[in-house]
Structure 1
């Protein structure tokens, strides 16, 4: 059944094996068993950096969920635990020149660099050049843990990020102020302040995802997605670490988003949240959000771009770029989506054999 007159949810079905075959995925293992360290160092050193990366609106992929024990997409509880599928979908989007970058954990960044190396070795076009690369820092607040609000540094630290020349860091700060877990939120707050302070010392951009959360009846933490809660956490996040000049905010979309825009002078990227299975929803949210204020500078989105129902992540990504970069309407973005389904499926397979 179609979701609107402009879009049919099942008009196209993307299959990862057509784009990123399993045999190609397993080539990563072969590299890791031999000379992965030198390859990754060389890739980091040789990559072409984006000129003036922060001067325009941004579309950045979020690929840090599995490290926090978040693997579910819809009814599939382990969709993002399939690294072959997950990595292939990330590359499918990252191959686009219109995509500005990726935020990920070390395992994802390593795998991306290795596939990019194999692609360039076969005279293919790099998908890591001219991209903003952000390292995810704190993933210790494992989903489902009794102490989930305690979210220490477990992925990159700032020394790691600067050592390999990534362009910035990302942290999450979830605040449960209603239960005894509040003390763990406040411990995480102190950790985040230290990370921001370290980024300030290095003039390194730091992307903060501050969220007010609550425990639902099933014992699962959910985001308080109303505007007043978002306004409160913005003030907490921007006061961290001695200076706000390097802080970007990653915030959920909600109604009355102009109030969110007016809550800070810092740049804001709209997050995507849980996968909705219907790209039209996120396109409408991003369109409305981008009209709310000039400090809304794009999106940092994972599940809704990588797992957009049955659709092609590349096509959905291009539709999002139409809205973020070109200020197109939702209808125009959907037209772009439909005209790009299944394009360049041989981007990898025509080179890496």
Structure 2
């Protein structure tokens, strides 16, 4: 794991805050898609929504130096195209020089805090379209959870549509991550990964805003992976697979990888966006986990 000089990051932030903008301005960029037409993105936008757990570790992502070291290692592996994160993490990675020649996705709505009563009123508290443009980032990402019984979902739906409009006006791609969600008897919010629910969520997300020209979809694998081919017939928008937090035995992890491999053969699926499964694998070997995911592409 590479060393991260936290003291130097703090010194720069305290004495020379414009260093973030300077690093963004001199960052060498690349096209969103390379010659192979595939994307391998490492996700680390969870902390900004108060979601710090990975596997059985409830605060795994709370140690920022450790998270940054894992991200730097992941980004250094061959075949990794870029990263998805909120502003604070991306600012750190800019200062560390870890984003050169990488695809950078800014996380846009982080207001739906994990476990909050207002979780579905997921307001845009992260990157704005103008921030993504100003910093020279390559795309944005928004989360769209829809509960038919929660009025907060309508607020998020309308805000998401306006964000799609604003990104399209700037010719910037936006990755929309849709779910049909429900609260259980315990009050906990859960995403419905049945084929019908995922199909419905993709149809809704595809129609957001006045233009879908710059819209991508970030799609979970359904409960029954055999349904993915039928589900992905819902849209012609390019999509990436959401990796999620794959915990459990090595056999269960291998099963998740196989499900990703099968879904990646579908014509609309262009890559993977995976976070905690790669950054906090059960065996602790970040490089091996990343290399395995890259191999699926």
TM-score by length of 1: 0.79
Aligned match of 2:88 in 107, 123, 129? 107
Aligned match of 1:264 in 235, 238, 247? 235
1:152 partnered with 2:123? yes
Give deviations 1:293-329, integer Å, cap 9, x for gaps: 21111111111111111231121111111111xxxxx
Residue in 2 that maps onto 1:276: 247
Q: Which runs of 4+ in 1 moved over 4 A?
A: none
Residue in 2 that maps onto 1:34: 15
8 A Cα contact 2:31 2:103, kept in partner = no
1:322 partnered with 2:290? no
Distance in 1 (alpha carbons) for counterparts of 2:93 and 2:230? 38
Shift of 1:54: 6.1
Shift of 1:175: 0.6
1:211-290 aligned within 5 A: 211-254=179-222, 255=225, 256-277=227-248, 278=250, 279-290=253-264
Give deviations 1:171-221, integer Å, cap 9, x for gaps: 0000111x3x2x110110000000000111111101000011111333221
For the pair shown, the structure with the greater C-alpha radius of gyration is 1
1:105-184 aligned within 5 A: 105-116=86-97, 127-177=98-148, 179=149, 181=150, 183-184=151-152
Give the stretch that moved more between structures: 68-77 or 58-67. Answer: 68-77
Distance in 1 (alpha carbons) for counterparts of 2:180 and 2:9? 38
Give deviations 1:23-56, integer Å, cap 9, x for gaps: x23321122122232x222221222211462661
8 A Cα contact 2:32 2:103, kept in partner = no
Distance in 2 (alpha carbons) for counterparts of 1:282 and 1:42? 40
Q: Per the alignment, in what secondary structure is the counterpart of residue 230 of structure 1?
A: helix
When the two chains are superposed, the root-mean-square deviation of aligned CA atoms in Å is: 1.5
Change (3 A) 1:78 1:162: same
1:58-137 aligned within 5 A: 58-116=39-97, 127-137=98-108
Q: Per the alignment, in what secondary structure is the counterpart of residue 88 of structure 2?
A: helix
Distance in 2 (alpha carbons) for counterparts of 1:61 and 1:323? 14
8 A Cα contact 1:275 1:307, kept in partner = no
Give deviations 1:271-297, integer Å, cap 9, x for gaps: 011231444233212111112x21111
8 A Cα contact 1:205 1:246, kept in partner = yes
Distance in 2 (alpha carbons) for counterparts of 1:303 and 1:281? 16
Change (3 A) 1:197 1:51: closer
1:295 partnered with 2:295? no
What 5-or-longer segments of structure 1 have no aligned partner? 1-18, 117-126, 325-353
Distance in 2 (alpha carbons) for counterparts of 1:157 and 1:97? 30
TM-score by length of 2: 0.93
8 A Cα contact 2:239 2:271, kept in partner = yes
Give deviations 1:136-178, integer Å, cap 9, x for gaps: 100001111111100111111111111111111110000111x
Distance in 1 (alpha carbons) for counterparts of 2:7 and 2:255? 35
What 5-or-longer segments of structure 2 have no aligned partner? none
Aligned pairs, how many?
Answer: 290
Q: Per the alignment, in what secondary structure is the counterpart of residue 15 of structure 2?
A: coil
